[in-house]
Amino acid sequence: MALIKRRVLGKGTYGTVFFAESTDPDAPPIAIKSCLLHRSSSLRLEDRILTQLRGLPGIVQSFGSTTSIKNGAQYSICFLNMPLVEPWRT
């Protein structure tokens, strides 16, 4: 499944959250949280905690994480299933 980043939802100390859609039209949108690899210890910890809490009500679900290289910089990426409060199809 390929994902396309559509827009930035927010930026903070621990990274940037993007709204992303799959190339599969039946797949729901997800949030992708990313940060530079050398600053990723908090993001990796967040992913581990969310993985342990998977399935509990009210907890954001993590689909895992990976690393990526863009323009020569390494990024840590966490895939999140976050409820959207606005219409996502425009």
Binding site, residues? Answer: 33
Query: Cβ(30)–Cβ(79) under 8 Å?
Result: yes
Tokens of 27: 């797949």
* Element counts in the chain: helices (H) and strands (E): 1, 5
Tokens of 59: 């907890």
Size of the chain, expressed as the number of residues it contains: 90
Q: List binding-site positions for ATP.
A: 33
